[in-house]
Amino acid sequence: MAKTPKYVYFFGGKKAEGRTDMKNLLGGKGANLAEMINIGLPVPNGFTITTDFCTDYYAGGKKFPKVLKDQVSVALKKVEKNMGAKFGDAKNPLLLSVRSGARASMPGMMDTILNLGLNEVTVEGLIAKTNNPRFAYDSYRRFVSMYGDVVLEMKPEDKHSVDPFEEILEAKKAKKGIELDTDLTAEDLKELVAEFKAAIKKNTGKDFPEDPMEQLWGAVGAVFDSWMNERAIVYRKLNDIPAAWGTAVNIQSMVYGNMGEDSGTGVAFTRDPASGERVFYGEYLFNAQGEDVVAGTRTPHQIVELKKDSPKLYKELDDIKNILEKHYHEMLDIEFTIQQGKLWMLQCRVGKRTGFAAIKIAVDMVREKLITKEEALLRIEPDQLNQLLRPIFDTEQKEKAIKEGKLLAKGLNAGPGAASGKVAFNAVDAEIMAAKGDKVILIRIETSPEDIKGMNASEGILTAKGGMTSHAALVARQMGKVCVAGCGVLNIDYKKQTMTVEGKKLVIKKGDYVSIDGTTGEVIAGNIETKPSEVVQVLVTKELDAKKSAVYKTYKDVMNWADSARTLGVRTNADEPAQCENALAFGAEGIGLTRTEHMFFEGDRIIAIREMILADSEEGRKTALAKLLPHQRGDFEGIFKVMKGKPVTVRFLDPPLHEFLPQEAKDIKVMADTMGISVKQVKDKIASMHEINPMLGFRGCRLGTAYPEITAMQARAILEAACNVASQGIKVFPEIMIPLVSTVAELKGQEAIVREVAAQVFAEKKKKVNYLVGTMIELPRAALTANEIAEVAEFFSFGTNDLTQTTFGLSRDDAGTFLPMYVDKDILPRDPFESLDQNGVGQLVEIGTQKGRSVRENLKVGICGEHGGEPESVEFCHRTGLNYVSCSPFRVPIARLAAARAALKDPKLAVKSADKKPAKKAAVKKAVAKKPAAKKAVAEKPVAKKAAAKKNDKKAVKKNTKK
């Protein structure tokens, strides 16, 4: 015979049948109610019907079997005994709440019934017990309408239709000439009950059920049914919650905070969810029900005021707070009710918080020895670090500006932080204005490499076109500039030097102030003050002494712990010594990508590079290249000096040559004059170089294959610089990277040139330096033939930006017209340029790594696409066994943390480290496997998509912290 299933878990007395780690079976709410009983907190008794039953309920045609009814009956008896009241009793009635409670939090999606058990008989008992007829009838009428709405399905589906009970209530109030519900008398409420019941009879053809047990099973069924209501289904879909999980149902004694001035209710966080400060943070109201605190009709009191109002209750609550934090090792969100002087805990769960608070709380809890460093790392989402790094607007000024209607538009939050400045519509103006000391916001339809200097001179960049990985966004993030991109409602007129916004009359002219928030995407007219974050003040601008910044101390702790935990290297993408210095300050262990082409736009170099491109002969190209050589060598010397022997990966010239060509008539004239040819000849050459799909055109190593002299010049610049710097006693380690290789033959040709030049340079300089020759794997074919390529390449660096473009057949520059729609329609979970497409592009990274190492066991493999700074992608890189990720300087801390979290989650590594380092083993094990309470608390966060979860985070915090 099959074992009788246990469907019902009682909680009450000294010991509950459930525990917090039984969340899958009891739902989050039920598990935590049980846990609070177990640690001795006062919780109104009750019992949970399991999620297993939910599954059986749907499988079995929505029936309640005898085994369930028997178990409910037993549990109910215990509740009656412990609470000293009897369900359906005429004199001392027990009233119940019936609530859903799934494994993952689904706030407001499912149904709830309160005050269950009231009828014409028990209402009299409640009056007798409380001596408060108005309270009793108010509870009664609320119950009847709730029951009618939810169980008897009278709530209109259309949100705009009026609830039938609401209609009756309003009629009553109108008739009485009153406005507030609270002005209704006991008699009024009693009449309402009768009218509500009549409406039920009329609407459903049935009488309102007077039998409490019938009420109970009706309510339980309705709550289970609500698991499959439209809202819940949509929510689950959005948050990737499987329907199969089911919900539990919690049946619990009612307690009332509105039984007079010795009663009350409140919500609180065990620490400040916005700042993370270790202060008891929340609100309460006397003689009120939970909804009154949230509804805003009465102004609730800060929890600290309770100390004055009732020192005893405050102490009791504060003790509970401490017990809870000590037990859960987490910052918690709690609900409580005080019924006639007795405190009851109604709910506890892990509290939502801002990124800033998340970091502070995690670090503080380590200091308080509540959690281990590893646990702390696992609690901080890497992107939350941004809140420690980005400049910020003065909050008051920004809110004021928005109130005044100065919010112009919202674009993509492409480069986080805040920036204000005067508008320039081209790079030259931006430079001129910046040289005068103005802060500049550069506004372009989209940016191109020619704008680099102007971007560098500006505080922030705003574009009308282009996505999260457009040129503007990429360069801005690398430079650490604020950027709002792809703000489609902007009309930018270069000729008139104006910007207008669709649907707005305002005209922004050159020199006007604009403020952009790259963290939110907001574009605001006027000037709003900003300041760099404290961490940046310490590390980059050096305005602030490290010792004076608590924020920096927190940051540093997190980073130190992360570095101890991670195995994945973190490098940076940087093209200039200043960027390299920043990156080192942020902890970069080398350069994963230096783009040589960015150097070509400085000063007169662009003339030389154009001369090289426009030359018709190898001779002409060589002449022009000779002019570039000293510049490039100087650049590399600067970088090598800063990097002091850390590896520096230099990529050879990559973009299509026409990107360097002049567009403006005057620049074309300059070129014609420089080269002694006609303007028409220059124009013809430019026209002849036009490409239909430049992304798939004459670029990367195809340039060096066609014109080996370009490769030779670049190799010479790098190796001469390396020798020169090494001669000064500074260590150097260049890694020369050949871009856009599709077949090993290309690489072989380029490598041969580099080796030949190296031999020449070393002979000339009488100096040798160690260097590597490797390649970017950025085309599917390169990944697929990585075993051939690794015969020549000494390292691989996955260029996942281009690899994503080719694997998806998706142009980063053009995808803006449909990619957002793809993410909206859930065709793609995320923008694949933002977060590595592990299922598709990731396969090529895996194939490439594995095939490469199949012929060169210790092949160094990294990633240098934008994904190198995106936490999920970083974790993927760790799992795939890469040696390092490389990202823009300001994302280095984020990548370090993400790498640490990946290592902590890595079961292989846990075993490995267990073998090697017994000390660490304990910590890791503790973090990953042990501490069920703590671990489960962490898992409390909805098992939803990160993006959605984050949105909810914000909303939840907002809702719960209304001040």
Phi-psi bin for 283: left (phi > 0), alpha (psi -120 to 50), beta? beta
Identify which of 904, 797, 798 has the alpha carbon closest to the alpha carbon of residue 842: 798
User: Quick one: 433 or 815, whose CB is closer to a copy of itself?
Assistant: 815
Contact criterion met (CB below 8 Å) for 418 and 390: yes
To a copy of itself, the closest distance from the beta carbon of 781 in angstroms equals 4
User: Quick one: 520 or 801, whose CB is closer to a copy of itself?
Assistant: 801
To a copy of itself, the closest distance from the beta carbon of 695 in angstroms equals 4
Asked about 877 being catalytic, the answer comes back as no
Interaction with a copy of itself in 730-789: which residues (CB under 8 A)? Answer: 740, 742-743, 745-746, 749, 778-781, 784-785
**Given the residues 327, 471, 598, 867, the one annotated as active site:** 471
Asked about 864 being catalytic, the answer comes back as yes
User: Quick one: 390 or 465, whose CB is closer to a copy of itself?
Assistant: 465
β-pairing, 281-286 vs 301-302, is antiparallel
Site string for a copy of itself, 783-822 (x = CB under 8 A): -xx----------------x--xxxxxxx-xxx-xx--xx
Interaction with a copy of itself in 616-655: which residues (CB under 8 A)? Answer: none
Six token digits for residue 439: 């802060």
Element (H, E) at 128: helix 122-130
User: Quick one: 393 or 833, whose CB is closer to a copy of itself?
Assistant: 833
CA distances (Å), 269 to each of 277, 298, 380, in order?
11, 20, 18
**Given the residues 348, 864, 877, 887, the one annotated as active site:** 864
Identify which of 396, 403, 395, 409 has the alpha carbon closest to the alpha carbon of residue 443: 409
To a copy of itself, the closest distance from the beta carbon of 415 in angstroms equals 21
To a copy of itself, the closest distance from the beta carbon of 222 in angstroms equals 33
Strand order in the sheet with 412-415: 407-410, 522-525, 513-517, 418-424, 440-444, 460-463, 482-485, 412-415
CA distance 690 to 146: 70
Query: Under 8 Å CB-to-CB from 927, ≥6 apart: which residues?
Result: 372, 374, 375, 377, 378, 904
Q: Mark the segment that binds a copy of itself (CB under 8 A) among 254-262, 287-295, 636-644, 686-694.
A: 686-694
Among 840, 853, 946, 950, binds a copy of itself (CB under 8 A): 840
Among 3, 825, 858, 919, binds a copy of itself (CB under 8 A): 825
User: Quick one: 584 or 844, whose CB is closer to a copy of itself?
Assistant: 844
User: Quick one: 282 or 799, whose CB is closer to a copy of itself?
Assistant: 799
User: Quick one: 213 or 696, whose CB is closer to a copy of itself?
Assistant: 696
CA distance 86 to 68: 20
Question: Where does 261-354 have alpha helices with state H?
Answer: 290-295, 305-309, 311-328
User: Quick one: 620 or 694, whose CB is closer to a copy of itself?
Assistant: 694
Packing angle, helices 907-916 and 918-928, rounded to 10: 150
Per CB under 8 A, does 839 bind a copy of itself?
yes
Cα angle 444, 448, 453; round to 5: 85
To a copy of itself, the closest distance from the beta carbon of 276 in angstroms equals 39
Radius of gyration for the alpha carbons in the chain, expressed in angstroms and rounded:
34
Strand order in the sheet with 301-302: 301-302, 281-286, 264-269, 332-339, 342-350
Among 578, 697, 853, 945, binds a copy of itself (CB under 8 A): 697
Phi, then psi, of 500 in degrees rounded to 5: -120, 165
Q: Mark the segment that binds a copy of itself (CB under 8 A) among 94-102, 434-442, 621-629, 696-704.
A: 696-704
CA distances (Å), 409 to each of 416, 664, 824, in order?
16, 31, 20
Identify which of 125, 114, 312, 307 has the alpha carbon closest to the alpha carbon of residue 223: 114
Among 693, 766, 915, 963, binds a copy of itself (CB under 8 A): 693
To a copy of itself, the closest distance from the beta carbon of 757 in angstroms equals 19
To the nearest 10°, the Cα dihedral for 818, 822, 828, 829?
A: 120
Give Cα 130 distance to the centre of its chain.
Answer: 49
- Would you call 117 exposed, middle or buried from its count of C-beta atoms within 10 A (0-12, 13-18, 19+)? buried
Q: Mark the segment that binds a copy of itself (CB under 8 A) among 93-101, 418-426, 826-834, 930-938.
A: 826-834
Interface size with a copy of itself, residues (CB under 8 A): 49
CA distance 57 to 628: 76
To a copy of itself, the closest distance from the beta carbon of 705 in angstroms equals 7
User: Quick one: 287 or 801, whose CB is closer to a copy of itself?
Assistant: 801
User: Quick one: 121 or 695, whose CB is closer to a copy of itself?
Assistant: 695
To a copy of itself, the closest distance from the beta carbon of 718 in angstroms equals 24
Per CB under 8 A, does 708 bind a copy of itself?
no
Q: Mark the segment that binds a copy of itself (CB under 8 A) among 161-169, 522-530, 685-693, 712-720.
A: 685-693
Contact criterion met (CB below 8 Å) for 818 and 882: no
To a copy of itself, the closest distance from the beta carbon of 699 in angstroms equals 9
User: Quick one: 375 or 802, whose CB is closer to a copy of itself?
Assistant: 802
To a copy of itself, the closest distance from the beta carbon of 696 in angstroms equals 4
Among 844, 897, 903, 949, binds a copy of itself (CB under 8 A): 844
Among 59, 244, 692, 919, binds a copy of itself (CB under 8 A): 692
Per CB under 8 A, does 240 bind a copy of itself?
no
Q: What letters, b where the CB count within 10 A reaches 16 and e where it falls short, cover 217-236?
A: bbbbbbbbbbbeeeebeebb
To a copy of itself, the closest distance from the beta carbon of 837 in angstroms equals 7
DSSP 77-105: HHHHHHHT-EET-SSSEE-EEEEEEESS-
Catalytic residues: 471, 864
Residue ranges in contact with a copy of itself by CB under 8 A: 691-698, 700, 702, 705-706, 740, 742-743, 745-746, 749, 778-781, 784-785, 802, 805-811, 813-815, 817-818, 821-822, 825-828, 837, 839-841, 843-844
